[in-house]
Amino acid sequence: MRLHLVPIFFGSLLSVHAFGADWPHWRGPSLDGIGQAKSLPDEWSETKNLLWKTPLPAPGSSTPIVIKGNLLLTVEFESQVMLLCFGEDGKERWRRKVCDSKGKGNGERTSASPSPVSDGQRVIVMTGTGEVVAFSLEGKEAWRFNAQERYGKFRLGFGFHVTPVLHEGRLYLQLIHAGAALLACVSPDTGAELWQVDRKSDGVAECLHSYASPTAYRHGEVNVVITHGNDYCIGHDPANGKELWRIGGLNPKDRYNRTLRFVASPVVHEGLVIAPSAKGRGVVGVRLAKAKGLILKGGQGELWRIDKGTTDVTSPLLYQGILYLCKENGTVLCLDALTGEQLYQERFHGQTYRGSPVAMNGRVLFTARDGTFTLMKAGRKYEILAKNKLNDQFTASPVIVNERLYLRGYKNLYAIGFK
């Protein structure tokens, strides 16, 4: 059965800028959650600064990407994972079946949890069933393979939710679970494997399961793909997967937690990698240019380390020299990014948080599941600029493109901006 989805419009729409950065990854063009918008509204609602909203066929948590005016997202419904493409006007352009699935599509835990990625020429989707499929921007399938068939059956307590990362013409898959621990490099042109490396760890029990996503970074001589899970944050050479460094002590041996699975993903900004852990434990800041070997407390490249305060689900945001850690309950811990000094800790809206914070134009945006969006002024002092409400549930992260904010809800896809 095909659902015919009709966008609901609010007032006349201005034409979208012809130029502007795409959002090719769930954490944006630089993989750090920072957008370049300069004139987004501080306030919005169901009746204010809402350009349009388009119904979605089922709830979901994957974050949309935006490529050349195409908004692409995955959804699970009717026992299938689908890739949907919308235009900047909110109208559906096409949809394609990615694979069959057995999930119920309940929002947070679906086979469509990983977000799409794109190199500007194709869109690549990975699913909880292990299917990895590439499509053209017009929706034509280019290639596919199944990661479970190629690398072994997924053995995770809460399903597979890891988004791969595209970096300098290669696709990297992080597979860290009870059945495998590896980093695989794949050609985005053909889907053929280029190499794979084992990712060694002494972690045990539930720590073997990682729900975090990899990231990558290049600046000058620093070029690294970063995997996260099974007690360590590890930097790899993108050319061959060789381990360059690893951050340890995220699950200290003298107080080891056998259930410390990583969910929050690491982030890199301006040469600094932030490695979260889980369940209220520590966070580490490391200067990539100096990182080397096993980095324990005081190790080479480490700038600071705190023993508690990590975000558990949402990923860290590093913006204008400040680190924002959004806890699952709506508490933000704000640190100086270079020293780890605590600037403040405040509970700004008591709710469940799954989507990661984003930043733009001196502002930081937090997404609560209940549809409350808290806009905070970036800086060393706690200042809320606005709280905005939409009548939906949200567990995806916001997207910032061409002076617009795109928000993927359970019921609708929303476009926010000045009319």
Q: Residue 295's beta-bridge partner residues?
A: 247
Query: pLDDT at position 377, please?
Result: 98
- Are the CB atoms for 123 and 67 separated by under 8 Å? yes
Token pair listed for 319: 């913006």
Q: Is residue 339 part of a domain?
A: yes
Query: pLDDT at position 51, please?
Result: 98
In a 3-state reduction of DSSP, which class is residue 155? coil
Domain CATH for 339: 2.130.10.10
Q: Is residue 122 part of a domain?
A: yes
- Are the CB atoms for 134 and 143 separated by under 8 Å? yes
Separation between Cα atoms, residue 406 and residue 162, nearest integer Å: 21
- End-to-end CA distance of the chain, in Å? 35
Separation between Cα atoms, residue 80 and residue 99, nearest integer Å: 6
Query: pLDDT at position 12, please?
Result: 33
Q: For residues 245, 150, 163 and 403, what is the CA-based torsion angle, rounded to 10 degrees?
A: 120
Identify the domain containing residue 283 by its residue range. Answer: 8-416
- Are the CB atoms for 157 and 184 separated by under 8 Å? no
Q: Is residue 3 part of a domain?
A: no
Three-state SS string over 309-367 comes to CCCCCCCCEEECCEEEEECCCCEEEEEECCCCCEEEEEECCCCCCCCCCEEECCEEEEE
Instruction: Order across the sheet with 404-408: list the strands.
Output: 8-9, 50-55, 412-416, 404-408, 399-401
Q: Is residue 363 part of a domain?
A: yes
Query: pLDDT at position 345, please?
Result: 98
Q: Is residue 1 part of a domain?
A: no
Separation between Cα atoms, residue 186 and residue 167, nearest integer Å: 11
- Are the CB atoms for 416 and 386 separated by under 8 Å? no
Total domains in the chain come to 1
- Are the CB atoms for 245 and 234 separated by under 8 Å? yes
Query: pLDDT at position 104, please?
Result: 65
pLDDT in tens, the chain (419 residues): 334 443 443 333 332 333 347 999 999 999 999 999 999 999 999 999 999 999 999 999 999 999 999 999 999 999 999 999 999 999 999 999 999 998 665 667 899 999 999 999 999 999 999 999 999 999 999 999 999 999 999 999 888 999 999 999 999 999 999 999 999 999 999 999 999 999 999 999 999 999 999 999 999 899 999 999 999 999 999 999 999 999 999 999 999 999 999 999 999 999 999 999 999 999 999 999 999 999 999 999 999 999 999 999 999 999 999 999 999 999 999 999 999 999 999 999 999 999 999 999 999 999 999 999 999 999 999 999 999 999 999 999 999 999 999 999 999 999 999 98
- Are the CB atoms for 394 and 388 separated by under 8 Å? no
Amino acid at 372: T
Query: pLDDT at position 106, please?
Result: 67
Q: Is residue 338 part of a domain?
A: yes
Separation between Cα atoms, residue 172 and residue 355, nearest integer Å: 22
In the 8-state DSSP scheme, what is residue 224? E
Query: pLDDT at position 1, please?
Result: 34
Q: Is residue 61 part of a domain?
A: yes
Residue 373 exposed, middle or buried by CB count within 10 Å (0-12, 13-18, 19+): buried
pLDDT in tens, 245-274: 999 999 999 999 999 999 999 999 999 999
Q: Is residue 2 part of a domain?
A: no
Amino acid at 363: R
Separation between Cα atoms, residue 323 and residue 310, nearest integer Å: 11
Separation between Cα atoms, residue 367 and residue 365, nearest integer Å: 7
Inter-CA distances, 254 with 257, 285, 308, 356, Å: 9, 21, 15, 31
Amino acid at 357: P
Among 122, 126, 123, 102, residue whose Cα is nearest residue 112: 126
